[in-house]
Amino acid sequence: MPAVQSGKVLVSGANGYVACWVIKSLLEQGYSVRGTVRSESKGAYTRKLFASYRDRFELVIVEDMCKEGAFDDAVKDVDGVQHIASAPVCWDANNPNDMIYQSMVPGVVSMLQSILHYGTRVKRVVITSSTTAVKDVPPSTTERVFTEENFNYSAIRELEQKGANTDPLVKYAAGKTLAELAAWELYEAEKRKGLYWDMVVIAPPFIFGPPLHHQGGPETLKVPMNGWYKHVLGGDVEYVPWTAATGGGDWVDVRDLSDAHVLVMQEEATGGHRFIISAGQFTWNDWIETVRRVSGSDNLPHEVDKPGYPIYLSKLDVSKVQRVLGASQYRDMEACTRALLDFFERKGWWES
Measured between alpha carbons, how far is 321 from 270 in angstroms, rounded to an integer? 9
pLDDT of residue 245: 45
pLDDT tens, N- to C-terminus, the chain (352 residues) = 679 999 999 999 999 999 999 999 999 999 999 999 999 999 999 999 999 999 999 999 999 998 999 999 999 999 999 999 986 655 555 666 666 766 788 899 999 999 999 999 999 999 999 999 999 887 777 889 999 999 999 999 998 899 888 888 888 899 999 999 999 999 999 999 999 999 999 999 999 999 998 778 888 888 888 888 888 887 665 544 445 445 678 999 999 999 999 999 999 999 999 999 999 998 888 888 899 899 988 777 666 555 555 566 789 999 999 999 886 689 999 999 999 999 999 999 888 7
Measured between alpha carbons, how far is 200 from 340 in angstroms, rounded to an integer? 29
What are the distances in angstroms from CA 111 to CA 76, 107, 117, 211, 297? 12, 7, 10, 26, 47
pLDDT of residue 220: 87
Of residues 209, 204, 205, 202, the one with CA closest to residue 325: 202
pLDDT of residue 165: 86
Measured between alpha carbons, how far is 150 from 130 in angstroms, rounded to an integer? 12
pLDDT of residue 244: 45
The sheet that has 248-253: what strands, in order across it? 206-208, 248-253, 280-283
Kindly tell me the number of DSSP H helices and DSSP E strands found in the chain. 12, 12
Contact 245, 138 (CB under 8 A): yes
Measured between alpha carbons, how far is 209 from 216 in angstroms, rounded to an integer? 17
280 exposure class (CB count in 10 Å sphere: 0-12, 13-18, 19+): middle
Measured between alpha carbons, how far is 85 from 299 in angstroms, rounded to an integer? 36
Q: Which domains does the chain have, with CATH numbers?
A: 8-210+250-280+315-331 (3.40.50.720)
Measured between alpha carbons, how far is 158 from 326 in angstroms, rounded to an integer? 37
Task: Give the max Cα distance, the chain.
Answer: 62
Residues constituting the chain: 352
pTM listed for this prediction? 0.94
Which secondary-structure segment (H or E) carries 275? strand 274-276
Residue 6 is which amino acid? S
Q: What share of the chain is helix, strand, coil (3-state, %, to 5)?
A: 45, 15, 40
